[in-house]
Amino acid sequence: MTSWLRAQKKSDLVDIAETIGLKNVSSLKKSELESALDEYLTEHASHLSSDSKLAPFYNIRSKTIGSPVKREVSASGEIKVTKRRSTKAAAPEEPATPAEDDSSAPSSALIRTPARALSLAASRIALPASPADVALAVDRSAVAVRTRALSIYADSGITEATQATRESLSTVYSIALLVSAFEWFNLRTEVLPTRYAFSIPAVKLLGTDSYPVSLPDIFLLLTWSFWAPVLLWFLISTAIPSFVGYFFNLSAASASHHTGRGRSRPFSNAEYAVDPLTFSLAKGLLVFVVLSQGASLGGYIDEKVVDRLNSGLYGGWQGAISGAAITGLVSLYDAVLRK
């Protein structure tokens, strides 16, 4: 390296480097910049030696070109420049002006070239993930989401509520109650019809028309036209069949035990207080006799009330008998499963 480069200030060296086409050199140390310029100017002497600004460099270099310089490349890829001692006393050079940075650094110092700095910076850049890494990350995310979903489902209590609902509905009484509720729902339109109550006004902003609203006529609750069919249907579908099922309770009789004197005493915890099979048989028989055959029971049942019941029930008296048959079959199936 010529003394002319060491004698220059770092700012001057940066200007020279940018002038000859080197970029991104301002971050280099002065010794590194000197080495980079020395190497570049030596390699491109053919077309840069004519530059008047670089004439001192090439003049000094031409005088000292005979001195052997050994360049060693270390294992780490860094260039070590070692200048052999001259056996002859060299002529004293002109005193160098003070440099800004570490210009007094020895020529044998390790110099990191710009190419080496760029390679180290590139090695620190994170490369894109491989397809295997992406698939593994997706699998981990899917497992985490599934685990979280199962945890939320378990904490919500849906499983316990589902089990409790199933246990509540899986009884003969529950099925009989559902059949009865279906019959009363259809009978409501006959005994308590809906009447026009008011209208929801049209909203021009939303583009909707007026909508009439109808509500059950609750004033019919004060009339005999409501209570006559309701009481009759309550008697033949619920009250009388329950009375018969309580006293003719086959399930309670099968659960009785005998004492030492031959007396029988039913268990206090009988399976059913009202036998569902007897209840269903009594209900079906009453529906057939009253609604189908028109039995007035001594004139106590009005024929018009019977007609209203047949009109209000889904399927008439045939539909009511079908409901009684369903509950009877369910009670038989339940008894078989319990044996």
| Alpha carbon distance 42, 185 (integer Å) | 105
The pLDDT tens digits of the residues spanning 275-295 come to 999 999 999 999 999 998 888
Do 256 and 109 share a domain, yes or no?
A: no
Pairing of strands 110-111, 79-83: antiparallel
Shared domain for 274 and 189, answered yes or no, is yes
Q: Are residues 92 and 215 in the same domain?
A: no
Are residues 228 and 108 both part of a single domain? Answer: no
Task: Quote the crossing angle between the two packed helices 276-287 and 316-338, to the nearest 10°.
Answer: 160
Give the total number of structural domains in the chain.
Answer: 2
Listed range (15-24, 220-229, 322-331) with the worst mean pLDDT: 15-24
Q: Please state, in angstroms and as integers, the Cα–Cα distance from residue 214 to each residue in 107, 189, 225, 277, 312, following that order.
A: 104, 12, 20, 40, 19
Q: Which one has a higher pLDDT value, 87 or 38?
A: 38
Residue 258 lies in a domain: yes
Q: With a cut of 60, say whether residue 77 has pLDDT above it.
A: no
Q: Does residue 186 lie in a domain region?
A: yes
- Domain boundary (89, 123, 157) is at 123
- What residues are paired with 195 via a beta bridge? 215
State the pLDDT confidence band at 108, using cuts at 50, 70 and 90: very low
Is the same domain home to 60 and 188? no
Q: Using pLDDT thresholds of 50, 70 and 90, give the confidence band for residue 90.
A: very low
- Is the domain of 206 the same as that of 312? yes
Of 93-97, 143-147, 186-190, 247-251, least confident by mean pLDDT is: 93-97
**12, part of any domain:** yes
Residues 102 and 242 in one domain: no
Does some domain include residue 146? no
80 and 174, same structural domain? no
Domain that holds residue 35: 3-123
119-129 pLDDT, tens digit each? 555 556 666 66
Q: Looking at the structure, tell me whether residues 116 and 184 fall in a common domain.
A: no
Is 195 in the same domain as 317? yes
The pLDDT of residue 256 is: 59
The distance of Cα 75 from the centroid of its chain, to the nearest Å, equals 54
